[in-house]
Chain A
Amino acid sequence: MVTNDLFNSLYVFILAAFIGFEVIRKVSPLLHTPLMSLTNALDAIAVVGAIILAGERKSTLALVLGTIAIVAATSNIVGGFIITDRMLKMFKSSRTQKP
């Protein structure tokens, strides 16, 4: 069972890494800063692990560490999406821009 999980996880990891390389290679260098802030926000999906840790409350240590981890990840989610959108809003083409 454990080996099965391991190989499933490895497949997912390898496929996701390839998709990541292919998709991200196509991102224009214009948008590399928003790219980094967006992937950073998406990476904060680690919050789901922290929510379960804090919610299951299997030990006081798990509750404390889980709660701090939720705070850290949530601030990345909220801050990351806000700043990415603020940056992308500024990118205007000369064709659509009002004089």
Chain B
Amino acid sequence: MIPQTHLIEVTYIIAVVLFILSLKWLSSPATARHGVWAGEAGMLLAIIGTLLYNGIVDYKWIAIALVLGAIIGVPLGNVQMTAVPQRTALSHAFGALCVTLVGTAEYYLRTPNVPPFVMSVLSLEVILGGLTFTGSLMAAGKLQEVLPQRPITYKGQNFVNLGMLGIAIVLAVMLVHNPANTHLYPMMVGISLIFGVMMIVPIGGADMPTVISLLNSYAGLSAAAMGFVLNSKLLIVAGSLDGASGFILSVNMSKAMNRSFTNVLFGAFGQVQTAVAGAVEQRNVRSATPEEAAAILSAANKVVIVPGYGMAVAQAQHKVRELYDALTKRGIDVKFGIHPVAGRMPGHMNVLLAEADIPYDKLLDMDEINGELPQTDVALIIGANDVTNPAARTDASSPIYGMPILDVDKARTVMVIKRSMSPGFAGIDNPLYYLDNNLMLFGDAKQFVNSIVRELTGGGGH
């Protein structure tokens, strides 16, 4: 049990206040760093308070574990910004591992005297913790590209997955009924661990923003369940804050991908989209050279740049920043339109652009930028495809019909930097490329942006 002595409770209450303030201050970039300090202070206080607990008989292993954890944590805090999604997935796994291990130890300490309610939340804790642990490891592996990124599907997959989850729940019910059934406990945890792997197997790279958010939510809920088991209000609060955050982000991501709410809850977002065969008749595509692109850009008053993950893959962020500088210097208004699923996790693209020193007040989300696109002279798309596809608005037969998109086609001129005419990740043809106001800029994103910048700064652009 978490100790109830007054001093410790006071440190916990202050920690809870600091945690809530921490998230509150995160609402704006101006105060966000205070949020980190508040979080750190709350965490330190809670840990010190816990160490004062007089039931602790041995500090040796605690000290070793704290030091070891810090040694592992430092490099994980210093990964490259492009690797933040896999780091986040890995930390969901660590969080879930902690919760699962504590739950397991509690079970073996208390059995057979586990009241039904405690056994229920303990089962919830370790089932959620177990599936989040292996699921997050799988997600991290796919993001790090040590595992194949393409979805692996087979017949009856949903049946198998739901069946496994069902068995885990049945075992939990049996344990609630009779907690002394110690042989059932490892089976329940084992099936949850396998379920976590199977859950992520059918999910492809493009769905990762939703998956990470969902795993975040599960990790938070399992920690809250642990709070119920240990009767710790501090853990319940921290876990529900994390769970709420993950839940909100999952819903955001599912809306951005046009997937239903139930789809998110059950994690069944792996459906392979039926790729439309490229039986499109040869239509006219206009292309332009860097010189022409630079001339059009320098004649504009208002430019919106739409970056996609392709830009990050090409490592073109810093060239894009040079383009932003060159255009801004000429008095051109440059903004960035960020689709919610532009990166590999919610908000990832903003971090990548902020790293390239692009001011955050120039980064606009989808709703904000869509209001401005009709008055925009040039929309420049770099490494994004499906999120700009007007078929999502107009073509009911398109697999992405209904998905909210950036209305770049409403700009006076659209320019798309792309290697070739090959369709995007979802294998869907993009009618944008055949519009009269569209120009294709064929080439590598980094090199092409660089050529435009050279034209603009070299004085030969107009």
Q: Which residues of A are in contact with B by a Cβ distance under 8 Å?
A: 2, 5-6, 8-9, 12-13, 16-17, 19-21, 23-59, 61-63, 65-95, 97
Contact at A52–B78, with CB atoms within 8 Å?
no
Q: Which of A17, A19, A46 sits near B98, CB closer than 8 Å? A: A46
Q: In the complex, which of the residues A19, A42, A71, A94 has the most CB atoms of chain B within 10 Å of its own CB atom?
A: A42
Q: Is the interface of A mostly helix, strand, loop or mixed?
A: helix
Which of B43-51, B151-159, B199-207, B431-439 is found at the contact surface with chain A? B43-51
User: Which residues from chain B contact A86 at a C-beta distance below 8 Å?
Assistant: 77-78
In the complex, 13 of the A-B residue pairs with CB atoms within 8 angstroms, ordered by the A residue number, are A32-B347, A33-B351, A38-B23, A42-B43, A51-B50, A56-B55, A61-B108, A70-B69, A78-B77, A82-B74, A87-B81, A90-B355, A92-B354
Interface centre among B20, B94, B216, B348 (most CB of A within 10 A): B94
B27 touches A42 (CB 8 A): no
In the complex, identify which listed stretch (B234-242, B257-265, B419-427) lies at the interface while the others stay far away: B234-242
With CB as the reference atom, state the residue of chain A lying closest to B347.
A32
Given contacts A27-B27, A33-B350, contact A70 B65 (CB under 8 A): yes
- 8 A-B pairs closest in CB distance: A74-B69, A82-B77, A78-B73, A32-B347, A20-B244, A55-B56, A79-B76, A94-B359
B340-377, CB under 8 A of A: which get 1 and which 0? Answer: 10010111101100110101111101000000000000
Q: When each residue 3-27 of chain B gets 1 if its CB lies under 8 Å from chain A and 0 otherwise, what string results?
A: 1000000000001000110111011
Q: Chain A residues with Cβ under 8 A from B24's Cβ?
A: 23, 26
Question: What residues of chain A lie closer than 8 Å to B42, measured between beta carbons?
Answer: 42
Size bin of chain B's contact surface: 35 or more
* Chain B residues whose CB sits within 8 angstroms of the CB of A54 once the complex forms: 58, 61-62, 65
Contact of A49 among B87, B118, B232, B240 (CB under 8 A): B232
Q: Which residues of A contact B29 (CB under 8 A)?
A: 28, 30-31, 88, 91, 93
Closest chain B CB from A99 CB (angstroms): 9
Q: Contact: B70 with A74, CB < 8 Å?
A: yes
Nearest B residue to A45, CB-CB: B238
Given contacts A34-B26, A74-B65, A80-B77, contact A49 B230 (CB under 8 A): yes
CA distance A35 to B26 in the complex (A): 7
Complex Cα distance, B66 from A69, in Å, reads: 10
Report B-chain residues with C-beta under 8 Å of the C-beta of A9.
Answer: 227-228, 231, 233, 236
Query: Contact partner of B94 among A37, A39, A73, CB < 8 A?
Result: A73
Q: How far is the CA of A73 from the CA of B93 in the complex (A)?
A: 10
Q: Write the nearest CB–CB distance from A20 to chain B, whole angstroms.
A: 3
Question: What mask results when residues 237 to 274 of chain B are scored 1 for a CB within 8 Å of chain A, else 0?
Answer: 11111111110110010000000000000000000000
Q: Report which of B240, B347, B351 forms a contact with A90, defined as CB distance below 8 A.
A: B351
Cβ-defined partner of A52 (8 Å) among B43, B55, B350: B55
Shortest distance from the beta carbon of B19 to any chain A beta carbon, whole Å: 5
Residue of A nearest to B227 (CB): A9
Q: Which of A6, A26, A48, A75 has most chain B Cβ within 10 Å?
A: A48
Shortest CB-to-CB span from A27 to chain B, Å, is 5
B28 within 8 A of A: yes
Are B351's CB and A34's CB within 8 A?
yes
